[in-house]
Amino acid sequence: MATRLFSLSLHVATLPTEDAADSHSKASLQNFVHDTIENKNYQSVTMPITNQNWTQRWKNMCLTEPGQTEVKKDIENQRAAEAWRAGSSGPLRRDEVNITKIEEAEYITGMAADWLELDSPDVWVRFDSELALKQELAHASYLGIQTVILPPPRNRAHVTDYARAVNSCLLGSGISPYTHLSIPSTHAPVISDADLNSTWEMWDTIRSMCDYNSRLSLTLDLTAPLPSSLHSLSRWAAEPARYIFLPASSFDFLKDMAQHRPSVILANTHASLHATGGPQAYPQYIRHLEKSSPFYKALETPGTVESFAQGYQDFLQAPLQPLMDNLQSSTYETFERDPVKYAKYEEVSSMVLCVAGAGRGGIVARCLSAMVRSGRKGHIYALEKNPNAYITLQERQEEWGDHVSVIFGDMRTTTLPEPADIVVSELLGSFGDNELSPECLDGAMRFLKPDGISIPSSYTAHLAPLSSSKLWNEVCNSSRERKHAETPYVVMFQAVNILSADSPCGGRIQEAWGFIHPRSDVLVDTQGLPMTNTHNVRAAHLTFHVPYAGILHGLAGYFEACLYGDIGLSIHPERQEFVSPNMLSWFPMFFPFKDPIYLPNNAELEVSMWRLTDKRKVWYEWSLLGARMD
């Protein structure tokens, strides 16, 4: 079955019917939804929960006409309004709602009435709008409608009133649908960078006041043409955008959003805006954009990172600790599916070798291949401390013959029968040193001849300020224990935005520290082991330029390694495609902050990170020192 990046939803303002008297025929609604799903390339229908009957009744009760005073207003309407506010006038009426049965609601995304003004300057209009919204949401919950798109915020001066009302709905009893906001909202013919910045700040205020509620997400409204500034648009990639409201007159921005797999709501498809094609041309063109997007092509190409990592996007994982834990066979198998990494190791391996941390033998096999290819004679010592992987190595001994000696033991304490020309290891983590490669290789350097070399010979860790409400919410809102925000995670980034840009104060992504092997300046004991681990302590103090306002949720961590000479490995976003394209073995690191931090336009962000150690463990600490205007 073909991969689907976009889920398509047809937007209808009212149920299409020629007979107004049939507008409440539930068979008609069910038939229309069924026909749309089965025959017209859509997966759902997006439609208002209520209709004009409810609109008119609410306005009669709650609004005063221009020039009219409350004294002159129909006393009966006033009484009806007070009874409605008190909850004694009954719920919504059958002729005021478009959907009444659970059978009709299965493929429907609900839309709250667009005339509701949760941010009206009039406090009473705000109050009555909130009551009406809760009534619609309660009806949607009763029908099992999972998604309700709210009217967009329109008044920045009262965005906190809007946010308070939404939060009250999220926390209210009996209301369970996921709630989406329609943003950006503007009636201007073009959205400028300033408009988009203002819209994003309103969204940020709303979700912050709703305490990053996981039931609150975003609907991007692309009705108006978007600005051309890529950086001003990129911040939306870090937001939980689950829907895109797309009128038939515009198809911008879709290819870049394909990787987020949004639901696309197509509007005005019957308005004859284009001379040819008809209504079916629009979903067909969306499918064309889907298949022509770079993400789709990479997803369908075996061996690419996107194909390999399906299901891992924005999925938090604890970093591996191979020094403390014995890895499972399936973990080694995942590593061995990366042809790029092993090809790079094969390019630099020959002579007398020690593979320190041989695992299931992936690197050993590549080293043998390198010896054969180079025509050199050599011998390999495959050293492994995992007793389970050691069994696999013994099985492969028959395949390798006398060219390989399999040794069980810890590289920090084991001795070899003879000195090695090269020590080869694959102990690198997503941040370079996070799987304790420096500490392990301190012990393995004893195996080398005086002029011996280590592969890798060096590696560096790199940082960048990151915005991702999704990742932060996974870390900090899934559990209130603060320790979860003091733990780095391995994650394949998707719904993220790097906030920084190149500037005189530093690059977009900056180097934090590095390690070199072997080192000649470390004091060792009689066994050749370092006397302490203080030489592996590191500290970094970095300044980043943030050109556009955003929310800082944490730091992104990457690594780059030099295996030997000009052969290397990298997950650095700006260099991976040149150093080791399509490498699969490592995802970046996410270092979360305990609380989101707002950064204004042109901010200078100062962050610090430390790699610390004692006699028993190694750990990281990271901190925001300050953010100031440029």
pLDDT, averaged per 10 consecutive residues of the chain (630 residues), comes to 73 63 57 82 89 90 65 72 80 89 87 92 92 91 88 87 91 66 51 66 87 84 63 73 69 62 74 69 77 71 65 65 60 58 53 88 88 83 92 91 92 90 92 92 91 94 94 77 83 90 92 93 84 92 93 96 93 93 89 91 93 91 80
* Pairing outcome for strands 147-150 and 178-183: parallel
| 141 within 8 A of 174, measured Cβ to Cβ | yes
| 490 within 8 A of 317, measured Cβ to Cβ | yes
| 108 within 8 A of 43, measured Cβ to Cβ | no
Instruction: Tell me the Ramachandran region of residue 303: left when phi exceeds 0, alpha when psi lies from -120 to 50, beta otherwise.
Output: left
Q: Write out the residue range of the structural domain in which residue 572 sits.
A: 458-629
Q: Are residues 255 and 366 in the same domain?
A: no
What pLDDT does residue 91 have? Answer: 79
411 belongs to an annotated ligand binding site = yes
Q: Are residues 104 and 203 in the same domain?
A: yes
Residues with Cβ within 8 Å of residue 453, at least 6 apart in sequence = 421, 422, 423, 564
Assign residue 390 the CATH number of its domain: 3.40.50.150
What pLDDT does residue 22 have? Answer: 45
Has residue 601 been placed in a domain? yes
Has residue 74 been placed in a domain? no
The residue with tokens 């300057």 is 121
Q: Are residues 469 and 422 in the same domain?
A: no
Q: Give the count of beta carbons closer than 10 Å to the beta carbon of residue 393.
A: 23
Q: Kindly report the backbone phi and psi dihedral angles of residue 507, in degrees, each rounded to the nearest multiple of 5, phi listed first.
A: -80, 175
Residue 363's H or E segment, with its range, is helix 362-374
Has residue 141 been placed in a domain? yes
Q: Which two tokens stand for residue 440?
A: 């392990």
341 belongs to an annotated ligand binding site = yes
Q: What's the CA gap between 267 and 423, in Å, rounded?
A: 62
Q: Are residues 262 and 365 in the same domain?
A: no
Residues with Cβ within 8 Å of residue 21, at least 6 apart in sequence = none
Q: Are residues 216 and 158 in the same domain?
A: yes
Cis peptide bond N-terminal to 184, omega within 30: yes
One-letter identity of residue 327: L
Has residue 154 been placed in a domain? yes
Would you mind telling me the total number of residues written for the chain in this entry? 630
Q: Are residues 130 and 209 in the same domain?
A: yes
To the query of whether residue 333 is one of the catalytic residues in this protein, the response is no
To the query of whether residue 435 is one of the catalytic residues in this protein, the response is yes
Has residue 179 been placed in a domain? yes
The domain total for the chain is: 3
Cis peptide bond N-terminal to 91, omega within 30: no
| 119 within 8 A of 162, measured Cβ to Cβ | yes
Q: Where are the alpha helices (H) located in 410-473, listed in sequence order?
A: 437-444, 469-472
Q: Are residues 267 and 381 in the same domain?
A: no
Q: What is the pTM of this model?
A: 0.72
Q: Kindly report the backbone phi and psi dihedral angles of residue 278, in degrees, each rounded to the nearest multiple of 5, phi listed first.
A: 75, 180
Assign residue 615 the CATH number of its domain: 2.70.160.11
Q: Are residues 404 and 285 in the same domain?
A: no
DSSP label at residue 22: G
Has residue 399 been placed in a domain? yes
What pLDDT does residue 345 have? Answer: 55
Please name which of 38, 33, 39 lies closest in space to residue 16, comparing C-alpha atoms. 33
Q: What's the CA gap between 359 and 19, in Å, rounded?
A: 72
Q: Give the count of beta carbons closer than 10 Å to the beta carbon of residue 99.
A: 22
Assign residue 168 the CATH number of its domain: 3.20.20.150
**The one catalytic residue among 130, 136, 306, 435:** 435
Q: What's the CA gap between 261 and 243, in Å, rounded?
A: 9
Q: Are residues 115 and 182 in the same domain?
A: yes
Q: What's the CA gap between 482 and 527, in Å, rounded?
A: 42
Please name which of 406, 404, 364 lies closest in space to residue 385, comparing C-alpha atoms. 406
One-letter identity of residue 508: R
Q: Are residues 224 and 261 in the same domain?
A: yes
What pLDDT does residue 490 have? Answer: 93
Q: Which two tokens stand for residue 371?
A: 């010896």
Q: What's the CA gap between 403 and 324, in Å, rounded?
A: 30
- Spatial strand order of the sheet with 420-425 comes to 404-408, 380-384, 353-356, 420-425, 448-455
Residue 109's H or E segment, with its range, is strand 108-111
DSSP label at residue 327: P
Three-state SS for 441? helix
Q: Are residues 291 and 338 in the same domain?
A: no
Q: Are residues 282 and 401 in the same domain?
A: no
Has residue 481 been placed in a domain? yes
384 belongs to an annotated ligand binding site = yes
**The one catalytic residue among 306, 426, 474, 560:** 426
Task: Give whole-number Cα distances, 191 to 201, 242, 265, 395, in Å.
Answer: 15, 21, 20, 65
Please name which of 223, 264, 218 lies closest in space to residue 238, comparing C-alpha atoms. 218
The residue with tokens 């999220």 is 170
| 185 within 8 A of 153, measured Cβ to Cβ | yes
Three-state SS for 400? helix
Residues with Cβ within 8 Å of residue 379, at least 6 apart in sequence = 352, 353, 403, 404, 405
Has residue 124 been placed in a domain? yes
